[in-house]
Amino acid sequence: MPLQPNQPARYWAYFNYVVATARLIERIYPGIPALAAVVAATPSFNALRAHPAADRPFIARLFRSVWFTEIHLSEHSKYQPLLPYSAPWAMVQAYYMIYLAARAYFAIHSRGVPLSHRGTLAALANDLLVCVDRFPSPWRAVCSANPATTAFALSNDPSAPPITLSNPTSSPYTGDPWQHFGLFLRTTRTRALLGAFEEWRKRSKRRRVTAATKATLLGRLPPTTLFDAMYRLRARSNYHDVDPFVFVSVTPSDGRALLQALLTISTYTVALLELMVAKSGGRTWFDNQVATFIGAPTGAPGAQLIGARWAAIRRHV
């Protein structure tokens, strides 16, 4: 297969999506305590309770996986020679931090959500719509329309402006980060829709997808969320295509910026889910999980990451 000529552009599109999303989150919440304060003031959050049958040892193991991955991702940023090579697996690790924390969120309520990525993402999308005030902006924003429409806007989040950006390689530092964020969700939905068309072709053994079939498949597609966009990064870098990371010239500062942005997205998202699980499971119980992890032989670096984050948000539980 001949090498595609636009590999650098594809890399910078991924880079810009991630950096702009991190900028958007930090612009809205200048620190994780600010995020916790917003979430803790909502009725939906304060109504959270653990299910009596919740498997707490299993949930504790999930969080230890989240936190161990977080340490690994954070430690990578300290080694400059590795920075240009870190992106593909850093995207995988950032996604799995979020995925495992989401599994803990479902488990504390004993919800029978399928373990598959597709099932998990669909359940999260449903919660964004049903438990609106539990998930703040920008997590609550979804793309539920046809991504091919000319006038495009996100829904479920009154803070989201109309999305007019069409070129993902434009700088993520100069404009409104909502634009790259919205385009991130829009292009993710486009890919999901194209995937649904391809699956239909294989099932039906037909090549042409009619307009009516396209409308039906679009109607069946769950809303596209930031969680889906992070899964897209994981899938592309993990087992679809590493070429955008191979055939591009990246400086250590670029590599560090991307890694830091991935850490920002994943740690803020994990903090959001930690807050919900701790509210449901109880402050003392979560205190014990954090202390157990930090006290482990390899958990010490977590004191400055997990321990500090929990200390900043535990009063809201």
Omega before 138 cis (within 30°)? yes
Whole-angstrom CA distances from 97 to 84, 93, 251, 263, 278 are: 21, 6, 26, 10, 17
Instruction: Please report the beta strands in 171-255, taking only residues with DSSP state E, as ranges in sequence order.
Output: none
Do you know the residue count of the chain? 317
Instruction: Please report the beta strands in 151-203, taking only residues with DSSP state E, as ranges in sequence order.
Output: 152-153, 162-163
Residue ranges per structural domain of the chain: 7-316
pLDDT confidence of residue 282? 96
11-44 tens-digit pLDDT:
999 999 999 999 999 999 999 999 999 999 999 9
- Give long-range contacts, CB 8 A cutoff, 24+ apart: 201-208: none
Spell out, as residue ranges, where the chain has pLDDT lower than 50: 1
CB atoms < 10 A from the CB of 10, how many? 19
pLDDT confidence of residue 8? 87
182-214 tens-digit pLDDT:
999 999 999 999 888 888 998 888 888 888 998
Contact (CB, 8 A) for 270 and 70: yes
Burial class (CB in 10 A: 0-12, 13-18, 19+), 295: exposed
pLDDT confidence of residue 250? 86
The tokens of 202 are what? 């294989």
Residue from 310, 1, 292, 19 nearest 177 by CA:
19
- Alpha-helical regions (H) of 205-251: 211-220, 226-235, 243-246
- Alpha-helical regions (H) of 41-116: 43-46, 56-76, 87-107
Contact (CB, 8 A) for 39 and 45: yes
pLDDT confidence of residue 5? 64
Q: Measured between alpha carbons, how far is 135 from 272 in angstroms, rounded to an integer?
A: 8
Helices then strands, each counted (H, E), the chain: 13, 2
Contact (CB, 8 A) for 205 and 124: no
For the entire predicted model, the pTM comes to 0.95
Q: Measured between alpha carbons, how far is 169 from 14 in angstroms, rounded to an integer?
A: 9
Q: How far apart are the first and last CA of the chain?
A: 54
Backbone angles phi, psi at 36, to 5 degrees: -60, -40
- Strands 162-163, 152-153: pairing is antiparallel
Instruction: Please report the beta strands in 67-199, taking only residues with DSSP state E, as ranges in sequence order.
Output: 152-153, 162-163
pLDDT confidence of residue 2? 52
The tokens of 184 are what? 């991130």
- Residue where the block lists tokens 């309770």: 49
The tokens of 128 are what? 């964004």
CB atoms < 10 A from the CB of 175, how many? 13
Residue from 153, 135, 133, 131 nearest 144 by CA:
153
